[in-house]
Amino acid sequence: MLEGTTAEIRERKALRVNPVKTCQPIGAMYAALGVNGCMPHSHGSQGCCAYHRSHLTRHYKEPVVATTSSFTEGASVFGGMSNLTTAIENIFSIYEPEIVAVHTTCLSEVIGDDIPTIIKKAAEAGKIPEGKTVIHANTPSFVGSHITGFANQCEAFVKYLAEPRQGEEPRKMINIFPGFVDPADMREIRRLADDLGIEYLMVPDASDVLDSAYDGKYQMYPDGGTPVAGLKMMGENQLSVGLGPLASEPALKTIAKKCEQPTELLELPIGVSATDAFVNSLRLAAGVKVPTEMVRERGRLIDMISDMSQYLHKKKVALFGDPDHLTSMTRFLVEIGMEPAIVIAGHPGKKWEKKIREIAPGAEVRASSDMHYLHQWIKNHPVDLLIGNSYGKLVAKAEDIPFVRFGFPILDRVGHRAFSIVGYRGAMRLIEKMTDTLFDHTDRLCPDEDLELIQ
């Protein structure tokens, strides 16, 4: 499909071809689905909401529910206040959520709708039932990416719901902002916290929402998700830990300012050192010891790294995806002896570029870039492995490169729904995926007389 891509690279400042990102509302919608009894609401056209829902559905293989203000020409000219007010009334009367999380789209942002005022007037007019809540996040698609939208929605939870501590002593509980990761990853982060024996609140938590068990009955609001009551009390907790700077930092800054709460910002716990940092942060905050089984789990990962080092050492890797994922993944590749050759993110960020260059000094690093540049660069500098979301399969097929799916979205495989890539167990799975992919590629290309039964 991409065989016609040329190797000649030309600098493009005003054009992106197959950008490595999607729009803010997708991230906001995903964050909202991680709250129990929450209905995400897209304040814009019906087509925007349909695209965002379908994209999430294709990644998680689960039905994604959301409502929309259904803008037409009239709302585009006169504003969406009437549409949103009517929508709020209908949502509570028909779908009965505990909370509605409004996020904007390009159209409503360009118009300049004042969402807080609309929500306030709706409440004064009795459109919001007693005990129910409506919050909002500004998520224009022409700025940032889906990670920005996720971050803005998480920050909105803090702005609207977190209440400052009333007593002198904080509750011995830790807020964990997991970042933009899959439900399986959120469940693994919870398992690590559970094994440490600490009390915590995950904000948001999409496990048991977008990967809920099948019981033959449809639930619009599955049992999973962060309770609204917990969100209101998160300002009273002793510490907030954010995973993934881009996805979690806005919420941490807001809770620190609003609730005078200590915060700690960490990388996503992908790989050895990033998981060590996360476990150590929780251990120190809660004053607990790391259990023996977790130490053994880490040891099994180190053993696998040692066993597989002969197959991974010095292999050149091309990566693309979201900045938070790429930071931790790049560090992990260096830890296991591989060489990140090029690292591409669709989200802008000079600080991120600097960090990646510190981790992998020899790598070509580009933020705010695209798949087309990645493909052309690979033509000039062949690599041994490509790592990224499903869109990378086109480049992998054209250049016959072993390909490991990683990040968002993964539209043509299902493993990410069930198997985590974070923590020590997740790192072992990543090693398995990389080595198996390299072995499969070798087996497919080698002559029959060189086909080895044992690796």
Alpha helices in 128-266 (DSSP H): 146-161, 183-196, 228-233, 245-259
Query: What sign for the dihedral angle of Cα 352, 432, 183, 369?
Result: positive
Q: For residue range 14-70, list pLDDT tens digits in order.
A: 888 889 999 999 999 999 999 999 999 999 998 899 999 999 999 999 999 999 998
In the chain, DSSP finds a helix count (H) and a strand count (E) of 17, 13
Q: Domains of the chain, with CATH numbers?
A: 24-149 (3.40.50.1980), 171-293 (3.40.50.1980), 309-449 (3.40.50.1980)
Report the 10 Å Cβ neighbour count for 143. 15
Q: For residue range 167-197, list pLDDT tens digits in order.
A: 778 899 999 999 999 999 999 999 999 999 9
Among 162-171, 247-256, 286-295, name the one with the lowest average pLDDT: 162-171
- Rg for the chain, CA atoms, rounded: 23
Q: 1: pLDDT confidence band, cut at 50, 70 and 90? A: low
Catalytic residue among 23, 38, 64, 106: 106
Find all residues with CB under 8 Å of 418, minimum gap 6, and list them: 184, 211
Q: How far apart are CA 144 and CA 15, in angstroms?
A: 16
Q: For residue range 126-135, list pLDDT tens digits in order.
A: 999 999 999 9
Q: What is the structure's pLDDT at 111?
A: 87
Question: For the chain, what is the mean pLDDT?
Answer: 94
106 among known catalytic residues: yes
Find all residues with CB under 8 Å of 275, minimum gap 6, and list them: 192, 269, 298, 422, 423, 424, 427
Beta-bridge mates of residue 175:
201, 240
Q: For residue range 275-334, list pLDDT tens digits in order.
A: 999 999 999 999 999 999 999 999 999 999 999 999 999 999 999 999 999 999 999 999
Q: How far apart are CA 289 and CA 232, in angstroms?
A: 30
Catalytic residue among 17, 110, 288, 414: 110
Looking at residue 416, what DSSP letter applies? G
Give me the percent of the chain exceeding a pLDDT of 70.
100
Two structure tokens written together for 338: 């591989």
